[in-house]
C-alpha cells in the first residue's frame, strides 16, 4: 500500500490497488450492514421511519418517545463496541441516553462509511479526498478496526497474539488485515496532521 499524502487543500490522497479497494469495500459494507440493523421492537428510528411514511400514523412516534421502553445495549459484542453505553455504572441513565442518541450515532456511522464507499474506486486507483472526506474515512476505518478487533479478541499485545499463532491458523490472515487497516488509518492520520 502506498501511504496517504497531504494535499494543499487540507485533504489527502493515496493510490490503492484493486485488491485493497475490494477488501476495504467488503469490510465497510459488512460494518454498514451490522450498524443498519434497526431495533423497531424497542422504538428506534426504524419505527419512526415507518410511521413517517404516513404522517397521520403516530404509532412510531409513540414507540420512540415511550418512557417505558428501555433500550439496552446491543447483545452483539461488535455492536456494543460500536454503539457503547453512555453511562457504564447506571443502566437506567445508559438506556435513556441510548434512546436519544443511538439512532443518530448509527446514521453518522453510516454516513461516514458511505462517504468512504462513494470516494473509493471499485477497481482501485488514485483517491483524492477533501478534508471532510478524509475525516469520514478515518471514522469509517476506525469502526472497521473496532469491529475486527472485537471479533478477533485483539488486545494491546496484538503483535504477541499474532506471533504465537500457528502459521496455518486461519486467524493469521485476519490479524494481517487488522494490521493493514491500522497502517492505512495511521497513514491517513499522518497526512492530515
Residue 67: CB atoms within 10 A of its CB come to: 7
Give me the domain span that covers residue 152: 5-192
Per-residue model confidence as pLDDT tens digits over 151-180 = 888 878 877 887 888 888 888 888 889 989
Which pLDDT value is given to residue 91?
Answer: 82
Q: Can you tell me the distance from the alpha carbon of 37 to that of 146, in angstroms, rounded to the nearest whole number?
A: 17
Work out the average pLDDT over 84-108: 85
Give whole-number Cα distances, 68 to 57, 65, 187, in Å. Answer: 20, 9, 46
Per-residue model confidence as pLDDT tens digits over 11-22 = 999 999 999 999
- Determine what percent of the chain is predicted with pLDDT higher than 70: 82
pLDDT, mean over the chain: 82
Which pLDDT value is given to residue 39?
Answer: 53
| Count of domains observed in the chain | 1
Which pLDDT value is given to residue 68?
Answer: 54
Q: Can you tell me the distance from the alpha carbon of 34 to that of 27, in angstroms, rounded to the nearest whole number?
A: 11
Q: Can you tell me the distance from the alpha carbon of 128 to that of 85, in angstroms, rounded to the nearest whole number?
A: 35
**Is the confidence at residue 65, as pLDDT, over 60?**
no
State the pTM of this model: 0.78
Burial class from Cβ neighbours inside 10 Å (0-12, 13-18, 19+) for residue 26 reads exposed
Amino acid at each position: 500500500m502506498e501511504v496517504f499524502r497531504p494535499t494543499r487543500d487540507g485533504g489527502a490522497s493515496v493510490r490503492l490497488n484493486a485488491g485493497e479497494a475490494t477488501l476495504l469495500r467488503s469490510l465497510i459494507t459488512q460494518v454498514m450492514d451490522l450498524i443498519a440493523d434497526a431495533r423497531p421492537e424497542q422504538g428506534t428510528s426504524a419505527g419512526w421511519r415507518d410511521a413517517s411514511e404516513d404522517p397521520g400514523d403516530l404509532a412510531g412516534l409513540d414507540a420512540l418517545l415511550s418512557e417505558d421502553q428501555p433500550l439496552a445495549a446491543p447483545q452483539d459484542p461488535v455492536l456494543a463496541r460500536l454503539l457503547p453505553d453512555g453511562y457504564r455504572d447506571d443502566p437506567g441513565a445508559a438506556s435513556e441516553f441510548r434512546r436519544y442518541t443511538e439512532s443518530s450515532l448509527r446514521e453518522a456511522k453510516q454516513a461516514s462509511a458511505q462517504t468512504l464507499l462513494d470516494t473509493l474506486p471499485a477497481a482501485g486507483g488514485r483517491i483524492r479526498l477533501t478534508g471532510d472526506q478524509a475525516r469520514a474515512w478515518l471514522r469509517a476505518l476506525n469502526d472497521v478496526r473496532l469491529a475486527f478487533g472485537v471479533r478477533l479478541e485483539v488486545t494491546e499485545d496484538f503483535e504477541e497474539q499474532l506471533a504465537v499463532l500457528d502459521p496455518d491458523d486461519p486467524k493469521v490472515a485476519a490479524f494481517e488485515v487488522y494490521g493493514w487497516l491500522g497502517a492505512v488509518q495511521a497513514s491517513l492520520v499522518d497526512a492530515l496532521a
